[in-house]
Amino acid sequence: MEGAVKTMDFVHRFLPAPQPEGAPTLLLLHGTGGSENDLLSLGQALLPGANLLSPHGKVLEHGMPRFFRRLAEGVFDQEDLRFRTGELADFVAEAAERYGFSAERVIAVGYSNGANIAASLLLRQPERLAGAVLFHPMVPFVPETLPDLRGRGIFIGAGQNDPIVPVANTEELAALFRQAGAEVTLQWQRGGHALTQAEVQAAQTWLKQGRRA
């Protein structure tokens, strides 16, 4: 299915793997102002041979699509985040059934706002993801009870001079995942909030080494 479709409550793209049987699926989650098309080339570069599932965020902030609302820069609407995370989890399960990919081999790849909702999904419904690549995420919330993330690999790409995500926030998120039992790789680069080729290459290597699960 090459064109954008609206079904299961999300406008999305699904690009099947050349050899779909047993292939992993990358759940591509764009940043603020992005679309379902933004991360397709990134997904193809990160893990050639994977299915690509890319939904379009349904929340608008000054006309820019996002996956959940925020009250201010770095201040998330927790009620909406909880609802949108559940909505995304349901979408992934329904998409697996519709397109015939393994629901147990889904790896989230998120940037900024997309990375934040992927982190929320890991903390709230970890059974939906086998692992994750999170580019410039923040701590979405701190759960009262940590989930069991043993057996899951998480790659975090972050900027030492990111004006949006403080270094301490990134380190807190990595620590949170580690406390939950995940195997976390934290890759720092000297830049800001923009995605760099260096961290993309680091994520490629991480995925090829099978660190996702």
Instruction: Let me know how long the chain is.
Output: 213
Cα distances (Å, whole numbers) of residue 45 to 73, 105, 176: 31, 18, 29
9 among known catalytic residues: no
Helix, strand, coil shares of the chain, percent, nearest 5, are: 30, 25, 40
162 among known catalytic residues: yes
41 among known catalytic residues: no
Strands 183-189 and 153-159: parallel
Q: Among residues 38, 54, 120, 162, which one is catalytic?
A: 162
Alpha helices in the chain (DSSP H): 40-46, 78-99, 113-124, 167-179, 197-208
Q: How many angstroms separate the CA atoms of 96 and 86, rounded? A: 16
Q: Among residues 12, 38, 112, 136, which one is catalytic?
A: 112
> Annotated catalytic sites, by residue?
112, 162, 193
